[in-house]
Structure 1
Amino acid sequence: MMLLTLWLCLGLVCYVYIGYPILITVFASLRRRRINTAPIRPSVSLIVCAYNEEDIIGKKIGNCLRLNYPKNLLEIIVVNDGSTDKTATIINEYANQPGVNIIQSSTRQGKATAMNRAAALAMGEILVFSDARAIYHAESLDMLVRNMNDPEVGCVNGNRTLQKNKSPIFNSENSYWSYEAYIKTKETQCRSTISVSGAMLALRASLFEPIPIDMILDDAFLAMQALRKGFRVVYEPAALCFQNSAMSTRDEILRRQRIAAGRFQLVANAKKLWPWKDKLAIFQLVSHKIMRLFLPFFSAGVFVSSAVLMLYPNTPVIVAILFWAQLAFGLLAVIGWVSEKIGWKLGVLGIWYYIASGNFASLSGLIRYSKGRQTVLWEKARRME
């Protein structure tokens, strides 16, 4: 029984990290779906929601105004969600700027509410939702909307790129996003990706429905909308936006536990939220996102079963190797944690600590969601400047 548990849990861990990327690569090579792109220029409403972003919001609005897109076709909507710093004052400085619409809220209501308010006023054929800290390349909007020439495409996700900085977790976080970008590219080649980032997300305005105010992952909800209505959700690597990495693993854990809680919310509401008619999308969703939530349990299963088997006489060599490899992994993660605490450069140790912290964030996200402690009011991770 213990041996069966070991191989089952180990197989699930390997499938999540390695097996699914290989499988989706094979699928993409066998049934590649192309996108009928063309250099079109529909009207665009670029929506930026901000809470206490005094240090960046002026730069963000300036970046929006400098985008290489016809001014008469670009509407910039900035929503202040009850900021308590100087965000409201800075935003108001752009109130008379042509093409800029300002929405001020004296109370904090959450990102979903802010996005709904902006979408209700938006005039563009395409809604582009952006984080306040995401700085766009000048050609990004063109790269995004060219995909909308294909009538099957309803939602487009841009390429969230990290700017190199002195963050101790830059290399680990950058490796993770490169890994994610590869998977999203292959999913798109199959038909659709089910992984999107709110840093740069374009949606046909005709597909938008108000986001439930208790929805934790607003970006995932928008992608699900498009999939449920039979449209493709695609990843556009040429649409670049730049962000700095988190200042520490602790800051990254805050972001990832919120995402984990949001995914558990998606699981709890699967019947009404998941695109059940799209069997491939369901397979991708479960393989790419949902199974990751249970990695702490799969990993625990591997460790406990291998530890128990080590007590048996004539323990198979492969079991012993797995047991000691897990102890080594744990030791490397602890060393990575200590190294970050005392200010050493993590190097390769950061990868093991980053993986371990991701599993911790999944477990923490489950606890927060099950206890109703995960609010829709987003907690910003501190980022390097």
Structure 2
Amino acid sequence: MEIVFWASALLLVHVFAGYPASVWLLARWMPRPICKKAIAPTVSVVIAVHDGAAQIAAKLANIETLDYPRQLVDIVIVCDGCRDDSAEQCRQFGDPRVQILEFAERRGKAACLNDGIAVAKGEVLLLTDVRQRLAPEALRELVANLADDTVGAVSGELLFEDVYTGFARGVDAYWRYEKLIRQNESGSGSTIGVSGALYAMRRGLFQPLPVATVLDDLLVPMCVAAQGQRVVFEPLALAWDRPSQQPCEEQRRKIRTLAGNYQLVQLAPWLLLPWRNPLWFRFISHKLLRLLAPWLLLALGLSAALLATRHALFAVTALGLAAGLAAVVAGRLLPALGGRLPVRLLTAFCYLNLFAAQALLAFARNRRLHLW
């Protein structure tokens, strides 16, 4: 039981503190700078849409505001089994650069990206979702990183706006922590994932995705890294989105995303092989061990409770975990308490780990995760 306690504790420390600290130190002691330059290759914006009529016109208008030569940009919209008038909205927008691909059957985002990129003309692909708003300089800042011959893909930075509730502020804090890790991964070599809301890559590096893929924003950059190119993070390329205000709103999206990590290993088992995956340690530490975190917390709590009479350390650990859980429950019952910084961070941490545990069950039960 002591082995279970210490193994769980050490792995949890590594996942949430040790690994982030290690890439932070690497980024400062052994930095790998990026040679950014103002360049202007041709760019294809590719957007997969399912029932996006309420948002697509605003998205196209937003793309028109990008500070990039208009004649160098074409736009491919892939309508994935839309039951609304998304395609008609695109046609009514009246931009001759827009090419629309319509599919009557809903197939999922990965299949749409494969088809959209197959007809794209640009040297660079800009992948973005219909929901988020992009800063005018976003494309220019992303492309500048591709002036460095070692860089194959670039992630933008996603920011949250309209953060009203304690839960939303907790999710926003967690996302800031996640972005800090990505920035340090980038500064020390490569980050393992990009933001699906906004990323750019060299078109020649794109490899068609398995059509069932959920996490294109993880498999695409891992394939880029496997081809010997860096995947970097650009904090000046901004996109804005709104977070879920309550756990029930976040639950479905987060479980699907986390279940996508299990699916990714099934679709691309080479990611588990250190001699094939150049970012193997980062992938294991940043992604896979996080999926184990809820089970490690459970093992830590149970072993600490069973060992509580043997040493004060075990008793303090068990009491600390119980107190943290009690604070989350109290925060849900008393909104004023739930808005306090420690409680809202604990609440976000608790729910995200609960969703991670549920993700394993979702993956086991649902083989059609790729359908939105």
Q: Normalising by structure 1, what TM-score?
A: 0.91
**Distance 1:5-1:273 versus aligned 2 partners, 3 A rule:** closer
Q: 2:364 aligns with which of 354, 361, 370?
A: 370
**Distance 1:344-1:61 versus aligned 2 partners, 3 A rule:** farther
**Distance 1:214-1:180 versus aligned 2 partners, 3 A rule:** same
Within 5 Å, give how 1:45-124 maps onto structure 2.
45-94=44-93, 96-124=94-122
**Distance 1:247-1:51 versus aligned 2 partners, 3 A rule:** farther
Amino acid across the alignment from 1:219: D
Q: Which residue of 2 aligns with 1:383?
A: none
In the alignment, the residues of structure 2 paired with residue 166 and residue 61 of structure 1 have an alpha-carbon distance, to the nearest angstrom, of 28
| Aligned 8 A contact 2:170 2:348 in 1 | yes
| Aligned 8 A contact 1:81 1:104 in 2 | yes
Supply the RMSD in Å over aligned alpha carbons. 1.9
In the alignment, the residues of structure 2 paired with residue 15 and residue 344 of structure 1 have an alpha-carbon distance, to the nearest angstrom, of 30
Q: Deviations over 1:258-296 (max 9, x none)?
A: 121111122334533468447661111111111000001
Give secondary structure in 2 for the equivalent of 1:78: strand
In the alignment, the residues of structure 2 paired with residue 274 and residue 140 of structure 1 have an alpha-carbon distance, to the nearest angstrom, of 33
Q: Which residue of 2 aligns with 1:164?
A: 162
Q: Which residue of 2 aligns with 1:261?
A: 259
Deviation at 1:307, TM superposition (A): 1.0
Amino acid across the alignment from 1:140: A
In the alignment, the residues of structure 2 paired with residue 58 and residue 265 of structure 1 have an alpha-carbon distance, to the nearest angstrom, of 33
Deviation at 1:55, TM superposition (A): 2.3
| Aligned 8 A contact 1:221 1:273 in 2 | no
Within 5 Å, give how 1:195-214 maps onto structure 2.
195-214=193-212
Deviation at 1:197, TM superposition (A): 1.6
Q: Deviations over 1:12-65 (max 9, x none)?
A: 111111111111112222221111110111111111111122322211111011
Deviation at 1:359, TM superposition (A): 1.1
In the alignment, the residues of structure 2 paired with residue 309 and residue 159 of structure 1 have an alpha-carbon distance, to the nearest angstrom, of 44
| Aligned 8 A contact 1:194 1:281 in 2 | yes
| Aligned 8 A contact 1:196 1:220 in 2 | yes
Q: Deviations over 1:202-247 (max 9, x none)?
A: 1110011211101111111111110111110001111001111113
In the alignment, the residues of structure 2 paired with residue 59 and residue 321 of structure 1 have an alpha-carbon distance, to the nearest angstrom, of 53
In the alignment, the residues of structure 2 paired with residue 375 and residue 280 of structure 1 have an alpha-carbon distance, to the nearest angstrom, of 27
Amino acid across the alignment from 1:59: A
Q: 1:309 aligns with which of 302, 307, 310?
A: 307
**Distance 1:268-1:212 versus aligned 2 partners, 3 A rule:** closer
| Aligned 8 A contact 1:159 1:241 in 2 | yes
Q: Which moved more, 1:61-70 or 1:280-289?
A: 280-289
In the alignment, the residues of structure 1 paired with residue 13 and residue 207 of structure 2 have an alpha-carbon distance, to the nearest angstrom, of 37
Q: 1:361 aligns with which of 355, 362, 372?
A: 355
Q: 2:123 aligns with which of 125, 130, 136?
A: 125
Alignment identity in percent? Answer: 30
**Distance 1:59-1:168 versus aligned 2 partners, 3 A rule:** farther
Unaligned runs of at least 5 residues, structure 1? 379-385
* 2:347 is equivalent to residue 347 of structure 1: no
Amino acid across the alignment from 2:359: G
**Distance 1:207-1:333 versus aligned 2 partners, 3 A rule:** same
Q: Normalising by structure 2, what TM-score?
A: 0.94
Deviation at 1:190, TM superposition (A): 1.1
Q: Deviations over 1:92-141 (max 9, x none)?
A: 212x4131222222221111111111101100000111011111000000
